[in-house]
Each structure stands twice: as C-alpha cells, then as structure tokens.
Structure 1
Amino acid sequence: MITPPARSTRIGTLVRAFALLVAVLSLPGCAERTAPTAAATSAEALPLIPAPVQAERGEGRFRIAAGTIVSIAPGDEPARDAANHLVRLLRDTRGLDLSVREETTPSPASIRLQLDAQSPVSQTEGYALDADAQGLRIRARDAAGLFYGAISAWQLAGADTGRDGVEGGAIDIPVVTIRDWPRFGWRGQLLDVARHFHDVDTVKHVIDAMAQHKLNVLHLHLTDDQGWRIEIKRYPKLTGIGAWRTPPGAGRHGTPQRYGGYYSQDQIRELVAYAAARHITILPEIDMPGHAQAAVAAYPEEIGVTGERPPVAVDWGVNPYLFDTDERSLAFIRGVLDEVLELFPSPFIHIGGDEAVKDQWEASPAVRAQMQRLGVKDAHAMQGWFNEQLADYLTSKGRRLIGWDEILEGGLPASASVMSWRGVDGAVTAAKLGHDVVLAPAGWMYLDNLQTERSDEPNGRLAVLPLSRVYELDPVPAELTAEQARHVLGAQGALWSEYIPSRRHIDHALFPRLAAVAEVAWSPMAARDWNGFLARLPAQLQRYQALGIGYSDGAFAADIGIDGGAHTALDGGKANIALGNQTGAGQIRYTTDGSEPTLDSLRYQKPFAATLPVTVKAAVFTEDGQPLAATRSRHFDRQTLLSVDTQGLRNCHNGGPLGLRVPLLPDMPGMDTPVYNVDLFYACWTYPQARLDGIAAIRIDAARLARNYGLAHDQSKVHQYPSSLPRGERALGELEVLRGCDGEMLAQMPLPEGSALGEQFELEVPLPPREGVHDLCLRFTAAIDGPLYAIGAVQLIEATAQSPPVQR
C-alpha cells in the first residue's frame, strides 16, 4: 500500500463569513480565547447541532404559528438578513409563511432579532437566544452571530413531519436560555470540483447545508490533473483545453465522449456573493507545483518542465507533471493569482503543495542549474523556494498562503499556514514552529471514505469512516502546549470527488457526517457527548428530509446476517439470524413473512432461529417511534448462502477491505452504478469460509475496469501473478481458484477475449471434489499494463444430476 496514504488518491485503507475569521485571527490567543468562560451545561436533548456552549431549559412553551411576527429594529440590516433567512427555512421545513416587520418596540409574542452591542455574549460570531411564553429574542454583537442565532431558532422549531399534533405547521418550542459562540474561527468543508465537476446549483446546495450547520469556510478545490475549473481571462486555454478530458470507456454505459466543465468568472462572483450572504467565505485552491497536468496540457511551453503537451489526466492519484520553476512559469502563476485574488476576498489562498513528485525537476538540466545558482540542496528544498515566491507575492497583495502539510518538507515561509491531512503530525510540527494550522486529517475528516461496510454503499474508499470516528476528533492535539494551541485556527471536513460524480453522491457522503464535523469545529469539548449527539440527530435527519437532502441512513440501518457465518446454516436448513447496526442506536423491528416492518412488528432482542428459505426485513426506529433508517431486506436460501458479493470478498494479504470501491466506469453518472471492491496492487480476492462439500463448480461475475490510477513511485508495488497459459495466450491471462492463497490450485480458466472497458462477463469453471470449510483465493494473471479486472459476485454451485457444471 502507499505509505503515507496519498491525499488525492487515498489508495488503500486510510489511517489517513471569512472576514470574521480575519477578526478572530487578529485577536490574541485564538484557541485559548474560544474556550468557554463558564461550565457548559447540558442541552437536555434540545434539537441543536452543533451543541451550544450553554443551554438551560425553563418551564413552559412559546408557540410559533402563521401569525407570528419576525421583528427587527428599523435600519438593522444584519437583523433583516438573518430574519429573512429564518423565514425561508421555516417556510421550507414547516410550511409557515411568516412576515418580517421593522418595529422600534417588538410586537407581543414575536421573534425579535437585534444587533446589540450590549449582547451578553461578547465573543465573535456568538449569540444570545432567550425564549419564554412572551416571545423569542436573539441578540448578537455582529451579523454572523445573529445569523447563527436564527439557525438555532429554526432548529428549535424542527421540521414538520406530520407528527407534531399542531395544524398549519405551528410548533411549540421550549422556554430556553442559550449563550453560544464557536470554539474555532475556521469551520470548514472542502468540496473537490476538479476530479468531477459540480455545477453552480450543486455548490449552492452545499453552501446552504454548511450554513445550516454553522460552518463558515467552503474550501473549493478548483484545479488538479483531471481538470481546471475556473476561468482565467488572460489564459483562456486553461478552460478551453484544461477543463475537458476524454474519459475511459467513453460512449459506454452513459459515459460521455467529452467530460468536464468550469465556472465563468461571473459564476464565481455569484457563488462568492451567495456564500457571503450566509457568512461563508470560499477558500480557492489552485494546486502548485504538483497536480498540474491539466494546466500543463493547456500551456506546455509556458509552464511545463519538458515543454511537451500531455493530455488532461484521466488517472486518479499522483501524476508526474509539475509547474516549471523559471521566471516565465512564475509570471504565468502570478497572472493566474491576480485574477483569483480579484474574484475571492478570502484572506487565505490555498496553493495545494501536496504530492509533488520531483522526477521532472530532477531530470531537468535547467531546473538543476537553477537549484545550483540558488544554493538549493535538493528538489524538496526547491519546492520550499517555489512556495516562498508564492508566499511573498500573496503577502504583497495582503493575502496569506496556506497549503497541505507537505509544504513543511522543504522549509516553510514565515507567513505560511498549514492544513494537516496526513494525520495530525503536520499540525503539531507547524504549530510548534509558530505557524497557524487547520486540521483536516484523513483518518477523521475524509468524507469520501465509505460510511459503513454495507453492500448498499455506493462508490468510495473502503476505509470505512463511521459517524463516531468523525465525532471523536479534537482539533487541538494533546501534544501542543497552551501557547502552541493558539495556532490552531480550526478544522474542516474534506470531500474528494474521484468517486463522487453527482449531487446524490455528495449528499450520501456528506450527511449526516457533516453534523459531526460541525460539532467538532463549533462546540467546546465540555458540551460534546456522543450519546447526546445521537439523541439530537433524529431531528437533524428530519430537517434533511424537509430540505430534500439525500442523506445516508447507513449508520442506523439494520445489518442482517447469520450468527456464526453462512456455512453454519447449510446443514439442517436453519439459520440463526443476527441483527444490529453501526451506532447501536434505536430499536430494530423485523419481519420474516415478507411484510414491511412497523412499530407493531417484533422487536429484535437477540439472535433468533429461522427456517430456510426466509426473507428477513428490518427497520430501525427511535425509542419514541420515529423512523431512523429505511427497511433493509435479505433473503436466505441455499443459493444465497453459497454466494458472496464484492463487499463480502476480503483482501488476500491482510483479510481486510481491498482499498477502493469503484464504479464500472469512472465517469458514469448514476448512483446505482455497479461497483467493485479492488486492491490496485494485488488482483486477488478471498472468499472467506467457503463450504465446499458437494460443490461442483464456481461462477464469477467479473468486469474489465479502467486502470486509471497514477501511482508514481508506487507503481513498482503492483504485483503481476505469473500465468500458466501457453506463451501465445498469456496476454489475456486467466482466473485462478486456489484453496488458500498459498494452497492447492483448484481451477484455472482463460479470460475471454475483448478489451472494452466497462465490459461485464461471467466465468464458470468446475471444481474438484473437496470437503470442509476453506478460504478460497481468486486471482487474475492478466497483464498489469492492461485493464483492471474485478469481481462483482461469486456463486458456489452444487452438483446436480440435471445440471452438471460447465465451463464457458
């Protein structure tokens, strides 16, 4: 496996309004200052995410109904903006159509929002919310605080699910006193639009969701090897050429002949303004010096090291193309930055800086001569020099450079900040050196990892990142002193888009984990509690439903299996059915008669016996009866007990997941695309605990996938299994079936002719008689410079007089 895990590929199992932020950063002791000044009290299951610093419930209720006035003081424009946003949310989620009214004295039983220099919460972005029987009042000393107070008021009102018992969308909210402010000034989410382009409406959808979670930094990853997504007027070929690629398997299964897109400068301005109205600043990332293939494809002579024009990359991962280091290249970069700075008011500009393979620099006589003139000792130090040129230029324009933690390796300009993704070590090192840091560690915050181990998960990384793991992160590493911790600006999630081609994929990957990201970045540790978070999450899921957010319910969905493994049920025709879910939350109700489970169905308490064949359906509800996850179903009979799908196969070398869960073709748009679990380094799968008694053949559903992975120096780790075919037939290779990866060869079968990517085919081969339960090893001997072969499902076939095994 790649070590350390690559940020853009994450191949293998990973272990791995912004103007207000300027004000926050300018204050001394950012991390220390944002600690709560009083002990945080329990929110007592108030439906608030992120958890507030202080929340105290009182006796009584306040009703919000169709006639409720949302009151603001005359001329209070920040209050008007926050009030209008509150009204929109209440309309969209409760069907209430409230009006905003300017009033010197608020109406009785109204919702009052007011910018107030004497608000009891003095912290930046903080707010005070007081609700009693006479009304609801939100006060803050800045516009962002009012906005976040409005978000909390909306959350208290909840979503109208038809269960409230009050007609017309009206709702009774509890009497409550809230004093709240964020722990960190930087609360972000990265959206990668370079690998898969996401249109303006989709980006706005993400911005809206971030605002509803009190996040304030959208890190927009705009350029990479696979696409340049921002119009630069002085360099039109960056989008004319660099924004488009010819995808593998073009023309098959809905894959377009030409894939890509970009944002015009007017669209960027539209997005920046849309975000700013929700107190979010867009942080642009322009990758340099690596991840530059799309740019070099557009202007090879101006910025390329070799002068040769590559295609826009179709390979995910680490590709070799770098920006040159000469003055012509730097002048080009400054020209790009000038237009970027005009479009984005962000005080920081992200330059990437990660995974810059130095082969081209090291092979270039011109770069080596430049290094000698500069007295730079090696290529890593040369990247440090390169970053220093960028940092100096940005500083001259009143901006700050931030990059991924690799920028530490060649020496870091004093003004630069670090975003730590390879664990937390980069943040610790940078903070100890006096640099500001943002935590986005892969092992906690990379949301393109799968949410569960379920077979119904779509494309993604096979390193499962459960909701609980996201919630665990403390952005202030324990290794830092109080003084060093002042350099921790905050934290953010990351959604890389190699396997996120659509808005539906975005929703599935982000939610509900974005709720955990929000609580990590906003709430003080004293207010954070996993069980409390789970108790508050059902209300958040209802809000997602009301807003049309296609969240994943996998953390709560019922897992249906056989206690002891499938082979235990083959004798006697009975199975011991075990149910559960990832979080352990909620009540599981199930049926075995084919009907849909309801609250009146049997409640799961412990494994139960069932006679085969049987279809088990299970749904999960909160203790008070609200749905937590949709019904899941699994059918058990002899055939299904003798089969596994791609998710049931294991890694031949460590018994764990295989690294990636990839679609049939990389640019297929559908959410229901066939998916395959693969290990890029070993074309080998284990079918665990296969019962071989009476088995006469094995059938394998397979596919030819694109081998579109830039592995750089890790290419040598890709294993070629030797073929036993005659020399003239070895190009295609074969499928081998072994009893254990180092054991007896049970069967071999040549792969069918054909080279079309995205082609699915079936292999069936006889097996010699064997008894007992064994791990079966399935591997392909195909050449590693051709398609990537994958397995979608495996079926063991029992001997019958009517259907002898066949080979085809």
Structure 2
Amino acid sequence: MANHVISRALAAAALTLPLVATPATAAPPQAPALSSVIPAPAQVTPAPGATFRLTALTAVKAAPAARKIAEQLARELRPATGYALPVLPATLPGLPTISLQLGGTGGREGYTLTVTPKQVTIRAAAPAGLYNGTRTLLQLLPKEIDSRTVVRRAWTINGGTIKDLPRYAYRGAMLDLARHFHTPAEVKAYIDEISRFKVNYLHLHLTDDQGWRIRIDSWPRLTAGDGGPGVDGEGPGFLTKAEYSDIVRYAAARYVTIVPEVDMPGHVNAAQVAYPELTCDGVAPPPRTDTEVGYSSLCISSETTYRFVEDVIRELAALTPGPYLHIGGDEAHATSEADYVTFQNRVLPLVKKYGKTAYGWNEITKSPAAATAVAQFWGTTTTNPTLAAAVANGTKVVMSPANKAYIDQKYDPSTPIGLSWAGYIEVRDAYGWDPATHLAGVTDPAVIGVEAPLWSETLRDLDDIEFLAFPRLPAIAELGWSPAATHDWDSFSARLGAYGPRWTLRGIDFYPSPQVDWQ
C-alpha cells in the first residue's frame, strides 16, 4: 500500500513541473567535497565511496513540523534536476530519500548531516537547525543545482558526516532603506541570498535625514507622499505596515529575523520636515538629499519628542516579533553630550517597556541605561574605552567595524559605486579579523555576533546591492558562524572561488575580486 501512495505522489508532483529547455551536454559527475561549504562547518568526517545519488525516484521525507522546510528544499532542487521530488511523511518506507528529522543536540541552530548511499539525513534539535542543514546540502550538490533550467548530469553527494553549529547566535546583514528606498521585492531577494550563508538577522535601517520609510499611524505625515526624497532625490518610497509584516513573514520562513531601526536623536531631518514640532524652534527644515551627517537633532527638552519616540517604538514593536528594536544613536553631533545621555536614559527603557531588547550604535553606551542593551560597534579603531567600560557593566556587543564589515565601502579606487570614508575593503580585508580580539576590552563573552551593514547612498537597484554585498557578505557570515580554528584565508578563498559559478547561474551580480581564483 505504501508503495502505491509513493507512486501516486511521484506522478502528481511530476505533473506540476514546467517543461523547460534542456541543455544536452553532460557534465562530469564530480560532487563538491564536504569541506567545501561556506561558512566552514564545525566538524567534517568524509566517508569515501559512500556517495548518494539524487534520481527521479528520490523523495524528501519530513515530520509535520519540518514539512515547510522540506517543501522549500524540494522547490529549490526541482528546476535543475527536473525531478518530482515529492515531499512525503517521514514514516513512509522505501525509495532513496532526503530525510529531515527533529531530535538530537546542537542547540536551536545546529545540525548533523549524514550522507550514505541510500539516504541523506539532516537531524537537528529545532527547525532552524534543519533549515541550516538544507543550506549546507545545496552546496554539497554540483554547482549546476543553481541552474534555472534542467541540466542532464549525475546529481551526486559525497558520503560522510557534517556536525555543525554556530560560533555566535547573531549573524547579521543590514540594508539601508532610508537613503535610498528598496522595494519589498528587492529586500526579499536579499533575504534569499543572505540566508544561504546562514545569516539569521536582517537589520533594516528605516529612517534617516533623507527619508522615513515605515508607516506610523499615530504620526501619518512621516510617510505622506513619498516618505522623503532620498540621496540626490533618487529613491523615494516607504513600507506600509502590511508590506513590513509581509517581509517579516518571508524572512521568518527562511529563519531570518528582522531588526527594525529608527535612528535618533540625530539623523531625524525627514521626521522634522513632516513634523516641525519635533524641532526646538518649531520651524520645519528643508528636505535633504545630500550625504552630510550630524546636523539634525530632536529637541531633547520637549515632551513632544518623547511622545513621538514612544509612539514610534510602540507601533514598531507591535509589528516586530523578533527580540530587538534598534534606536540608532550614532553621529548625534548636534546634540550636546548631556542632552544625549538624558535622551538615552529616557528612551532605552521605553524599548523594554514594549517587550524588546534595546539595540543601538555604540554611542548609546554613554548612557548607564545601556547596561541591558546591545551596542553595535562601528568604529575604525581597535580601542573604544566607553564601550569597553559598558561591556564591563554588562552591555553585549555586535561587531561591525566600519573598515572591515561595512560592505557599502568600495573594493578599491576603481569601484564604480560605494563610499570610501572608512577605507577600501577587499574580500581579504572583510575576512581578515576576529570579532573576539578586534577591540580592546571586548572579548568573546561580550560578543553576541557580527553584522555587515550596507548603506545605500550610492545604491539604486538590486544589482548594486548584490555587487557590494557579494562576495564580502559570505566573509562576514563565516566569521559569525564558523569556529575560530577554521579561520583560514587560503581555504576560504578557494571555497569562494568554487561558489562563484552558483551566483552566475542565479543571475547574481557579484564582484569578481582579483584576490580570488574564480572557477
């Protein structure tokens, strides 16, 4: 009876596959080594000769709690293979299978992947770990698996076992929607790519001097019209609450958590254009389309400021299921030191009031209230006494040193887009540092992770995002996921070079760094 059920499932799934052009050229049957994965796994044990072959009879099996992950994996494997790959209950016997199983150790995100001639098994303690295991599995198949049309070749996976878990719980990317608005479709496309490298947080910079990009019902003029002109007047727009919530759901299905940021008390010119009462003199400033920083400030002595801030935090927290709410706090040069501390002492507790952990740029550590917050280090030095003192008092840190992790910076002087105030950052620069030793007084117990910010002053479309993010984003992802003992440029650059054709097959506009031997 079970075999009849399986046969019907295979036939039904096959009927749903589109007819596509089929390149007839056969490729050699080599499969990537288990050690070829980005980020580098914690432990790899090859089993020579124990190769699994994906065929037209292969099924994906999963328990009900893992079914959505199994369905996504099957959707990703079908275009290149042309196989039906039905998703079946875990209890059905027979057929070569890819099996997703819950149970075991490794924390929320760890997994064990085992390849034998009869089965590929991904086992994890939680669904997030299963999802991470599927990201590894995609890289263990030949690179042609990323083709959008059928490729006739042997789909093999080398035998052995990978036991893997992350070094840090927070592995982030940041996308700036304020200086240039990026559409929900572009944000989703970025989520698809970063999740392949086990990046699990996407920080959205939603407000700045040039634009306010999220609807706030209690202050509707913030997004009246276009939400602000953007840099050079290129890139107006904003997210409705429905669009933001849709992005949150889309990211969650890929085990990426959205972190929203509203930057204050500086970087607020767009808010003050919409609401002049947020200035101390009640006069609206002109809209800004330049890239200067540090000139705007909320009126720290005004109760209207705190009513505004609380309303924004309350509405944004209600939309955001993730644990963090980022309140900015950088480059507040127009706010006096005393006023800055006063502001943070009132605002950081508001984030907790609405059920979130306060998160901000490292300047927030000037306030004693930052002891229970997360500070994002973005400086270009290897010392920051204020942050080090806050760490001693309990503050946790996400590491984003601008001269290493800011992937909006140019690769070299000839790079057509990007900035260079923090220096030129080639792939080796992005890879060549350790989050646990980079900053004096900030060691591993205080570091919860890393993040690669991508500011959008020079961005205009998805191609621009991809060009600056890749291949540097995988370098930051490896620093966040892989054990420090695996950190090795020669290994990483070789694995990156082998990954390049996958980006080409998916149409990703990556930068072909001359530091990497692209295959």
Q: TM-score, normalised by structure 1?
A: 0.57
Whether the aligned pair in 2 keeps the contact of 1:382 and 1:410 (CA below 8 Å) is: no
- Alpha-carbon distance change, 470 to 246 in structure 1, aligned in 2, over 3 angstroms: closer
Equivalent residue number for residue 528 of structure 1: 487
Instruction: Name the structure where strand makes up a greater proportion of residues.
Output: 1
Instruction: Name the structure where helix makes up a greater proportion of residues.
Output: 2
- Alpha-carbon distance change, 513 to 106 in structure 1, aligned in 2, over 3 angstroms: farther
Equivalent residue number for residue 290 of structure 2: 315
- 1:126-165 correspondence runs (5 A): 126-160=110-144
Equivalent residue number for residue 425 of structure 1: 383
Equivalent residue number for residue 70 of structure 2: 83
- 1:327-726 correspondence runs (5 A): 327-358=303-334, 379-423=336-380, 424-426=382-384, 428-453=388-413, 455=414, 457-461=416-420, 463-477=423-437, 485-553=444-512, 555-556=513-514, 583=515, 585-586=516-517, 626=519
Instruction: Provide the aligned length of Structure 1 versus Structure 2.
Output: 480
How far apart in 1 are the matches of 2:362 and 2:192?
Answer: 29
- The amino acid across from 2:313 in the alignment is L
Equivalent residue number for residue 98 of structure 1: 85
Whether the aligned pair in 1 keeps the contact of 2:146 and 2:505 (CA below 8 Å) is: no
Equivalent residue number for residue 15 of structure 2: none
- Alpha-carbon distance change, 92 to 330 in structure 1, aligned in 2, over 3 angstroms: farther
Deviation at 1:62, TM superposition (A): 0.9
Query: Which one of 171, 178, 187 corresponds to residue 187 of structure 1?
Result: 171
Whether the aligned pair in 2 keeps the contact of 1:46 and 1:156 (CA below 8 Å) is: no
- Alpha-carbon distance change, 494 to 415 in structure 1, aligned in 2, over 3 angstroms: same
How far apart in 2 are the matches of 1:505 and 1:434?
Answer: 38
- 1:794-805 correspondence runs (5 A): none
Deviation at 1:242, TM superposition (A): 7.0
Task: Write out per-residue CA displacement over residues 143-185 of structure 1, whole angstroms, 9 at most, x where no aligned residue.
Answer: 100000111111101321899xx96354111002000000000
Q: Report which structure shows greater RCO (CA 8 Å, sep ≥6).
A: 2
Deviation at 1:336, TM superposition (A): 1.3
- Alpha-carbon distance change, 550 to 82 in structure 1, aligned in 2, over 3 angstroms: same
Moved more, 527-536 or 212-221: 527-536
Equivalent residue number for residue 252 of structure 2: 276
How far apart in 2 are the matches of 1:162 and 1:316?
Answer: 38
Equivalent residue number for residue 769 of structure 1: none
Deviation at 1:89, TM superposition (A): 2.1
- Structure with max Cα Rg: 1
Equivalent residue number for residue 114 of structure 1: 101
How far apart in 2 are the matches of 1:402 and 1:546?
Answer: 37
Deviation at 1:316, TM superposition (A): 0.7
Deviation at 1:125, TM superposition (A): 0.5
Q: Does 1:54 align with 2:43?
A: yes
- The amino acid across from 1:59 in the alignment is P
- The amino acid across from 1:425 in the alignment is T
- Alpha-carbon distance change, 538 to 65 in structure 1, aligned in 2, over 3 angstroms: farther
Question: Unpaired segments of 5 or more residues in structure 2?
Answer: 1-31
How far apart in 2 are the matches of 1:231 and 1:536?
Answer: 42
Whether the aligned pair in 1 keeps the contact of 2:112 and 2:133 (CA below 8 Å) is: yes
Task: Write out per-residue CA displacement over residues 42-96 of structure 1, whole angstroms, 9 at most, x where no aligned residue.
Answer: x9663311000001111121111232111113xx22x212212211222355554
Equivalent residue number for residue 57 of structure 2: 67
Task: Write out per-residue CA displacement over residues 322-361 of structure 1, whole angstroms, 9 at most, x where no aligned residue.
Answer: 1112212101111111110111112111111011123xx5
- Alpha-carbon distance change, 98 to 125 in structure 1, aligned in 2, over 3 angstroms: same
Whether the aligned pair in 1 keeps the contact of 2:371 and 2:390 (CA below 8 Å) is: no
Q: Does 1:298 align with 2:298?
A: no
How far apart in 1 are the matches of 2:392 and 2:39?
Answer: 29
Whether the aligned pair in 2 keeps the contact of 1:71 and 1:107 (CA below 8 Å) is: no
How far apart in 1 are the matches of 2:151 and 2:291?
Answer: 52
Query: Which one of 143, 147, 159 corresponds to residue 175 of structure 1?
Result: 159
How far apart in 1 are the matches of 2:481 and 2:53?
Answer: 28
Question: Unpaired segments of 5 or more residues in structure 1?
Answer: 1-42, 362-378, 557-582, 587-621, 627-808
How far apart in 2 are the matches of 1:263 and 1:510?
Answer: 23
- Alpha-carbon distance change, 167 to 448 in structure 1, aligned in 2, over 3 angstroms: closer
- Alpha-carbon distance change, 441 to 335 in structure 1, aligned in 2, over 3 angstroms: same
How far apart in 2 are the matches of 1:97 and 1:294?
Answer: 51
How far apart in 2 are the matches of 1:151 and 1:396?
Answer: 37
Whether the aligned pair in 2 keeps the contact of 1:94 and 1:159 (CA below 8 Å) is: no
- Alpha-carbon distance change, 107 to 545 in structure 1, aligned in 2, over 3 angstroms: farther
- The amino acid across from 2:287 in the alignment is V
- The amino acid across from 1:135 in the alignment is Q
In structure 1, the residue corresponding to 2:35 is in which secondary structure?
A: coil
In structure 2, the residue corresponding to 1:340 is in which secondary structure?
A: helix
Whether the aligned pair in 2 keeps the contact of 1:232 and 1:339 (CA below 8 Å) is: yes
How far apart in 2 are the matches of 1:494 and 1:542?
Answer: 25
In structure 2, the residue corresponding to 1:526 is in which secondary structure?
A: helix
In structure 2, the residue corresponding to 1:260 is in which secondary structure?
A: coil
Whether the aligned pair in 1 keeps the contact of 2:180 and 2:230 (CA below 8 Å) is: no
- The amino acid across from 1:318 in the alignment is V
Equivalent residue number for residue 228 of structure 2: 244
- Alpha-carbon distance change, 324 to 106 in structure 1, aligned in 2, over 3 angstroms: farther
Task: Write out per-residue CA displacement over residues 603-659 of structure 1, whole angstroms, 9 at most, x where no aligned residue.
Answer: xxxxxxxxxxxxxxxxxxx6xxx4xxxxxxxxxxxxxxxxxxxxxxxxxxxxxxxxx
How far apart in 1 are the matches of 2:487 and 2:93?
Answer: 35
In structure 2, the residue corresponding to 1:451 is in which secondary structure?
A: coil
